[in-house]
Structure 1
């Protein structure tokens, strides 16, 4: 039996994208556990690597260099990634509560959520920023540096906390400002009598370096208030500061105190196998964990060393196997950035510094990131030596895409449907090619009905349900109708009854949220199990006047598009592991957005459709054929998702790309993205120029985007890209 045929029976949920979890994801992708479903919950698509943060602040590394791409890692590991905050754990019901969506069930859970540096000082929450979470601080720093460069604020910085982190960040920020030919004023504030976290020799060298960098050091002080332009001390002194950074020790996430997890000073208390006391199904690792069996300072090295043990013990928890203890080393090497490309190394009380040590640190940091970035590409399953003629050609060199990329080409579709006869019942008014069938209502008005389903693009059932619901609603909106009712059609992969219940619950809750906000009701459906997850909906809608068809466009009308294109390329690249996680996250978020307001403002369109599987060119061509016109499209006016252009130029294509070109060849400038199949794509409306401008203004007033991308002209079906 192939491992993919083994039913899913256990849910492993990893909360947080810290260093240990990132390494576990890589190991999981190399050696997954059949029957286990993996979920990762993290607020963003990337997680910053702490070791390179001072170098990024100093200007030595780009933002992308220090970001761990969790989207790519999760895809490699076969895990779903939920981009949100965990807010609570219910250990009795085995649920993780998540901001903005229903709870996520677990059989085994693991925490690696790091720490914060939020300080309980008046004004800090408003005017200060903690050094952790790192991504929040890095973003504030970039904004501050830009404002200083533009002359909008003074280069005054205060750092609260004289440990290793405070020293590194003070030196990094001072160096970055000087590199811009700006004379900074950086002040380091520490409550203790001397800098902490260092041996005597290392502390002396760091203090000397701080003074040579003209950084003011205040020890034995207490900060009483943080304001927009200063920090107030207990003795009444005011330190000028336009950016105040908190780096005074590790602060646990406050929501942990509202749970029943065993805590030590707010950190999750663990046992030698990294699980929590009295609950072997919950684990914690990294800075959010306390290890009373082997107390250690908060340092990334321990999370990295714990990863192999965590990986083993998570699998053991899922299989009732034996566990290993974690034995952290007592001494460890500290490599401390010194602003410019120089570093200090300390171990066993000895300390050395210089550029050579920076190069050593740089190699270590880059090697860590390379391990998480250079992921093996998925290999297609090997074919038997002997297959029927044509099978290899149909399979091609890449896997079948999900979403609309898995559709049958339009030419084949038309051939397959050619035997259907046009309805003779005068209550059925459908026009070939329109988005939905049209039924005349006995009491007046019209009803439209359409059906659509999607092969899963991603591993998250709830997010996939949202995408499928929005996608199905697109046909109703494109006809100018008000959504009315929906029937679901769901295929689940083989899984245990418990996981069936969990999965159907997530799908139903997500889809119901979309349809209810669109004004429709889910009235029933059908479910079955199969080889992979597929979600679809049959949707009805009503309208009092004639529905909008493809055939009403007029010469001189302009074309309006409500979403960028390029989702097919991005999802194809995501499948092969070559897309940037942030770009994938953006396009997935766009796919789940309702377009009811856009449809409302475009309700007087002469013609309208939604851009889906046949690509932008294919849907424009459909309007041209039905309306007996041609179209001119301004290529530079067509919005494109971030990352899609570069991927397209590299030759990345969806599996429906070639059939789309054959269905709708274009004249003039050739752009592969015009043939890229879209999933839950934008509305494409044809209106008189004045009406289009008014619609764009009305949408903009509601925070909705839309673009005029071309015009209709006389002719017979040609699509020309200018």
Structure 2
């Protein structure tokens, strides 16, 4: 999404906790023009605390538990960096992120939550799982349930910590595994449920007793092993040990030189640091100096509107608001079954009505992130030129990446009209993956590629663009040599421009050097939107041409399909975050090793890009008078579902001009053969007797490669099985 106003300030949000999720939603409703927003989060989703007990009990799916940060960020016009923050450079005002350039900020907010780890407890890191972070816990719990239900594991569980969280988890686990008669023990060094009122405590203990859940008070945990917890009162057998006691801040926060209390970031009534008013914090990772409170999600939710207003005020010169948390708050505590207990001013009504109340509050909160307003479509002027202007305006927005290419037929017609090369050192002009020039006893490859932005992260966009351009060199069996960049930046303040170029140059240099090439120059200009591209040379002794395929060859594809469909859905904020994350991971995965494995044996090879698998396969079939039988096509997570729902890249209609030459059942898989790929995988025709060894080598190198078909004599045709 290109900004509608020149960017002059950078707002960075570290973490996808409840406060930041609500800030992003409000920002999408009312953004501050001129501000670029960046969300730094290691995961594309964030679990909601309130629904975790219900999920553990089996009442909610994992999907219902998660806030989709990628979709939310798209709605807010924010870029997402799927990495953890590991430090701050406060002097330079930059966030340190592993394996990429630091990210600049003018205002910063931290909402990274806490962990329930017990780092000094022997055996905890090896044999226990903390209840927080919630996503990690939910994954481990799902695996344990599967192991119990399959008979691989006995349902013996120990929970360290008899607070509300420990009791809720114990009751929820018992309900989920009730058919297997679980043995659950809660271990507490002090008094159980001491943060609850007397009546609520009695009600919870009553349900724990009914479930046969044992609470051992005064039990000092000394060590955790693979099948037990050793305490001061004896050993407790456990195949699944959970840490639900204490709150541990993330380690990197201690290295920031910000004032802390017990490792948590000190903030005042404006929710910013007393040492740096441009740095804010919310949720569990913050310690409110003016009103200390226990760690509870209710405070993160209620901090959000103040955090939103104060971040805007910091970036625009406005007045900050003071947040004063309530002294007490309503607790709705799950009892495993669809019952709950209300803890409020000494009262403790219990039962199904309390559960329905809790369920209503939780599901209403989550609907805030599901029911986002649709993306606006441009209004049509009252008077239009003839010949399809109205249709072009009404069409879906033009995609970025390879989805923004000119169609194959249009391009082929123009290339065919080019005169033959008149220089003797040009061995191959336009038509193959890269041009070939005679160079000593071998050849030099030469290629160029660029595309308009499809994500707002200039670092990741640049890496993908570089890998995409390098693919043409690798496809011909070449070794990349040198590169020139072509960069267009939208209008922005000089400081923002410098920071953006710093990220672009960092990504380009790193990616090209990984490939054995150097960035030796380029051209940078300002324009309507961000565009990144590269012209690359390479050296090759024996070029792999498209015309080399033979009947009987096996077809190998090194990456799954679906980037065009996923990116098109993402432009409309309709793609699930896990699907977008999978697509970005695939696009940013270098094909260098894949090409090195395939090149010595491939009869023909190409990189699958804008014309889709079918278009690039036809490029081989047409030159060799061959046909192909294909099946078992690898797809990116979410691609088939999005294609079935009708999501298409804007290049898709032009790619399907030869769909009549592809036989097989209609449906999303067939459609995805024509999906334009950005930084797609290598498609190689290899001798059939070498295919299994090549596949094994590719998979050992980390590629999800598959043999997708075979070639045979006959006119150009693709038969999808």
The TM-score bracket by the shorter chain reads over 0.9
Q: Which shifted more, 623-632 or 536-545?
A: 623-632
Q: TM-score, normalised by structure 2?
A: 0.97
Q: How far does residue 302 in structure 1 lie from its aligned partner after superposition?
A: 1.1
Contact 1:433 1:622 in 2 (8 A): no
Match in the other structure for 2:435:
437
Contact 2:553/2:710, CA 8 A, preserved across alignment: yes
Q: Does the 8 A contact of 2:258 with 2:275 survive in 1?
A: no
SS at match of 1:686: strand
- Judge conservation of contact 2:378–2:393 (CA < 8 Å) in 1: no
Match of 1:113 in 2: 112
What's the CA shift string for 1:425-461, capped at 9, x where partnerless? Answer: 22111155201000001x2100001000011111111
Residue number in structure 2 paired with 1:610: 607
Matched, 1:619 2:628: no
**Alpha-carbon separation, structure 2, partners of 1:659 and 1:553:** 26
Alpha-carbon offset, residue 220 of structure 1: 1.8
The answer as to whether partners of 1:666 and 1:721 remain within 8 angstroms in 2 is no
CA contact (8 A) 1:14 1:112 kept: yes
CA distance in 1, matches of 2:3, 2:512: 33
Does 2:686 correspond to 1:687?
yes
Deviation at 1:712, TM superposition (A): 1.9
Alignment of 1:144-163 (within 5 A): 144-163=144-163
Asked if residue 666 in structure 1 is aligned to residue 665 in structure 2, the reply is no
Cα separation, partners in 2 of 1:194 and 1:437, compared to 1, 3 Å: closer
For 2:135 and 2:371, the matched residues in 1 are separated by 22
Partner of 1:481: 478
Check whether the contact 1:696–1:705 (CA below 8 A) recurs between aligned residues.
no
Maintained 8 Å contact 1:452/1:538: yes
> Which stretch of structure 1 is more off in the superposition, 239-248 or 63-72?
239-248
Aligned residues: 713
Structure 2 residue ranges without an equivalent (≥5) = none
Tell me the residue number matched to 1:405.
403
**Ranges of 4+ aligned residues in structure 1 off by more than 6 Å:** none
Alignment of 1:82-97 (within 5 A): 82-97=81-96
Structure 1 gaps, min length 5:
none
Shift of 1:633: 2.1
Q: CA shift at 1:424, angstroms?
A: 2.2
1:462 maps to: 459
- Find the residue that maps to 2:413 and give its secondary structure: helix
**Does residue 1:61 correspond to 2:60, yes or no?**
yes
Q: Once the 2 structures are TM-superposed, how far is the Cα of residue 642 of structure 1 from its aligned partner? A: 1.4
- In 1, the alpha carbon distance for the partners of 2:693 and 2:328 equals 68
* Inter-partner Cα distance in structure 2 for 1:615 and 1:344: 56
Give runs of aligned pairs for residues 623-642 of structure 1, distance below 5 A: 623-634=620-631, 637-642=632-637
Confirm or deny: 8 A CA contact 2:483 2:537 kept in the other structure: yes
Per-residue CA shift, 1:12-62, capped at 9, x if unaligned? 000110001000001111111111000011111110000000011111111
Q: How big is the shift at 1:72?
A: 0.4
Match of 2:513 in 1: 516
Distance across 1 between alignment mates of 2:712 and 2:556 = 15
| Distance in 1 separating the partners of 2:125 and 2:162 | 20
1:155-554 to 2 correspondence within 5 Å?
A: 155-178=155-178, 181-235=179-233, 237-389=234-386, 390-430=388-428, 432-441=430-439, 443-545=440-542, 547-554=543-550
Question: What do the CA deviations read for 1:158-217 (whole angstroms, capped 9, x no partner)?
Answer: 111111111101111111111xx1011100111113422101111111111111110001
Specify whether residues 348 and 497 from structure 1 end up closer, same or farther in structure 2 by C-alpha distance, changes over 3 A only.
same
Match of residue 580 from structure 2: 584
- State whether residues 410 and 663 of structure 1, in contact with CA within 8 Å, keep that contact through their aligned partners in structure 2: no
Report the Cα distance in structure 1 between the residues aligned to 2:463 and 2:133, rounded to whole angstroms: 30
* 3-state secondary structure, aligned to 2:425: coil
1:647 aligns with 2:647: no
- Provide the rounded CA distance (Å) in 2 between the counterparts of 1:155 and 1:117: 22
Kept in 1, the 8 Å contact 2:558–2:698? The answer is no
* CA shift for structure 1 position 663: 4.8
Structure 1 residue 307 displacement after superposition: 0.7
Structure 2: distance between partners of 1:622 and 1:544: 23
CA contact (8 A) 2:551 2:713 kept: yes
1:127 aligns with 2:127: yes
1:593 and 2:589 aligned: yes
In 2, Cα distance between the equivalents of 1:449 and 1:691?
Answer: 30
Tell whether the 8 Å contact from 1:16 to 1:41 is kept in structure 2 after alignment.
yes
The CA deviation at 1:331 is: 2.2
What secondary structure is seen at the aligned counterpart in 1 of 2:349? strand
The root-mean-square deviation of aligned C-alpha atoms, in Å, is: 1.4
Contact 1:163 1:249 in 2 (8 A): no
Report the secondary structure of 1:314's partner residue.
Answer: helix
The DSSP-based 3-state class of the residue aligned with 1:81 is strand
CA contact (8 A) 2:578 2:637 kept: no
Q: Secondary structure at the match of 1:464?
A: helix
Contact kept, 8 Å, 1:411 with 1:663, in 2: the verdict is: no
CA contact (8 A) 2:415 2:431 kept: no
- Secondary structure, aligned partner of 2:348: strand
